[in-house]
Amino acid sequence: MAISNKESVISAVERILDNYLEMNNHRKTLERYTILRAIYNINGHFTLEELNARLLKEMNFHVSRATMYNTLNLFMELRLVIRHRFQGTTKYEACYDNTSHCHQICTMCGKVSEVKSAEISEAVENMQTKRFRKDGFTLYVYGVCSTCQAKITKRKKQKTNVKR
């Protein structure tokens, strides 16, 4: 029976957490590992509230807000999670196996979607830096999504028809 890619990623991030906790004489708590597994089973971005709801609903696991914040800060320090500040909201995402990518963000509705761009990845990889090792990148591209653009066009047509 083959181990799925998701399971191997979760094993790898758990080993990173194990090593850090052991080296720094921190406790290996059920909360840390449960939160880590929940995060790595989410596809895409999530808010703190969405993560908490998932823990409660799918795992019947309650965690205090302070524990959630402290744990996410630890995971960010270990580069297992990345934090994004999108249009007035904070979202997180697992980043162990997905560090470099672009986001397109609608300035009207706030919808965020990921975009793959070989050209941008190649440009960043080839970019010359001085005394700096690149680990990854995130690019934010702001604009108006097709749904919001259609609403704008519809409103403009309605205003034009009213004036006639």
The fraction of the chain above a pLDDT of 70, given in percent, is 96
pLDDT value, residue 163: 67
Residues 103-108, mean pLDDT to the nearest whole number:
91
Count the alpha carbons within 13 Å of 123 in the hemisphere toward its beta carbon. Answer: 9
Buried b (16+ CB within 10 A) or exposed e, 52-87: bebbeeeeeeebeeeebeebbebbeebebbbeeebe
pLDDT value, residue 98: 66
Q: Give the pTM.
A: 0.77
pLDDT in tens, 31-86: 999 999 999 999 889 999 999 999 999 999 999 999 999 999 999 999 999 999 88
